[in-house]
Amino acid sequence: MGTGTGKTRLLGGRYQLTSPMGRDGVGIMWRAHDSRLRRNVAIKEIQPHFRDHGADLEEARRRALREARSAGRLSHPAVISVHDLLEEGGRLWIVMELLEALTLKETVRHLGHLPVHWAAWIGFQLLSGLRHAHGAGVLHRDINPGNILLTGDRVVLSDFGIAALSGEASASTTVPIGCAPAYTAPERLRGRAATPAADLWSFGACLYFAVEGRSPYPESGSLAVLSTAMSRNPEPPAKAGPLWTVLEGLLRRDPAARVSAGQAARLLSEILRLEGVAVAPPQLPAARFPAGPFTS
């Protein structure tokens, strides 16, 4: 459905598409207006992959349902809110909250790297949402700097398109197409099943990227080359300072040896305390960014 069609009728009888916001591996994100509740929203138009026989509509449907159901069962400031799921015009549409935000990837590419206290604060907030997801039985499976959103007062984990609910067949040993290999846990690249520990490795790789300005392993090359690189420990960061303790614990190749989410939260809260940044207890989200947010 093009922009012109979006202007002439409403999706689901209520959502008016206004302009495209961007594209990722599975579809187009639109800015839209909910005429029923009179609020602006974001809508992801899921576009099917094309196989030899044509568009893979069933795979697109499964992915859309998985994303909506995974994010829809969560309610946390650090997790994107999903409002609705539609199937119309041969496409699937996921309606979610509209955030005026930059991704962590965009922010770091612009600034070079983030100061230790900013990276720690972002990590603390993101980890709070990740712990909430894991507690609800949701594995994200594709945490990377491109789907971490930074607003004026929130850190938000988005794109649950390849998330898996505990016990579902989708929690397979196959690394889904579209994953960011440089942020995928070593055991996942070797074909092992997704686990909370694998999400924590990806989380640690994003923290490393935030404070260093690069991923812990090369971001280019085939999965085979990357898997070989991951047989070695990451190069120790030069800018992480006290964050290295957290990064080293999260980026261990053996998932059984990694620090837990609770341990990582306590370490991050202690770093922030020493940096003079007040945060809520590790089990609760903090209320706002420290003074002078870099998103202003």
Q: What is the pLDDT of residues 197-220, one digit of tens each?
A: 999 999 999 999 999 999 998 776
Q: Report the percent of the chain where pLDDT is more than 70.
A: 73
Side-chain-side CA neighbours of 215 within 13 Å: the count stands at 21
Q: Name the percent of the chain lying above pLDDT 90.
A: 46
Closest CA to 156 of 125, 179, 131: 125
Cα gap 97→79, rounded to integer Å: 10
240 or 181, higher pLDDT: 240
Calculate the CA 142 to chain-centre distance. 6
Answer for the pair 81, 132: CB distance below 8 angstroms, yes or no. no
- Count Cβ atoms within 10 A of the Cβ of residue 178 and give its class: 0-12 exposed, 13-18 middle, 19 or more buried: middle
Location of structure tokens 């005026």: 100
For 155-201, the DSSP string reads EEE---TT-EETT-TTS-SSPPTT--GGGS-HHHHTTPPP-HHHHHH
User: What is d(CA 296, CA 293) in angstroms, rounded to the nearest whole number?
Assistant: 6
pLDDT of residue 168: 53
Give the H or E element holding residue 16.
strand 15-23
Q: How confident is the model at residue 141 (pLDDT cuts 50, 70, 90)?
A: confident
Q: Would you place residue 222 in the very low, low, confident or very high pLDDT band (cuts 50, 70, 90)?
A: low
Q: What is the mean pLDDT of residues 105-109?
A: 96
Contact assessment for residue 103 and residue 22, using Cβ atoms and an 8 Å cutoff:
no
Contact call for residues 33 and 16 (beta carbons, < 8 A): yes
DSSP 140: -
**Residue showing tokens 């770093």:** 271
β-pairing verdict for 39-46 and 50-51: unpaired
Question: How many C-beta atoms surround the C-beta of residue 184 within 10 A?
Answer: 26
User: DSSP secondary-structure letter at 240?
Assistant: -
Q: How far is CA 212 from CA 107, 207, 226, in A?
A: 13, 8, 19
Q: Which of 34, 142, 159, 199 is an active site residue?
A: 142
Measured over the CA atoms of residue 89, residue 93, residue 99 and residue 104, the dihedral's sign is negative
Nearest to 16 by CA among 68, 45, 30, 44: 30
Residue 289's pLDDT is what?
Answer: 44
199 annotated active-site: no
What the chain holds in terms of domains, given with CATH numbers, is 3-97 (3.30.200.20), 102-274 (1.10.510.10)
Looking at residue 129, its pLDDT comes to 93
Give alpha helix (H) positions in 41-103. 57-72
The closest alpha carbon to 206, from 198, 215, 197, belongs to 215
Write the pLDDT tens digit of every residue in 35-88: 999 999 999 888 765 444 444 566 666 666 766 676 777 889 999 888 888 888
What is the token pair recorded at 14?
């209520």
Tokens at 138, concatenated? 């949701």
**Which residues touch 295 (CB under 8 Å, ≥6 apart)?**
101, 102, 107, 150, 151, 152, 289
pLDDT of residue 144: 94
Which range among 12-21, 109-118, 204-213, 274-283 shows the weakest confidence by mean pLDDT? 274-283
Q: What pLDDT is stored for residue 288 in this prediction?
A: 44
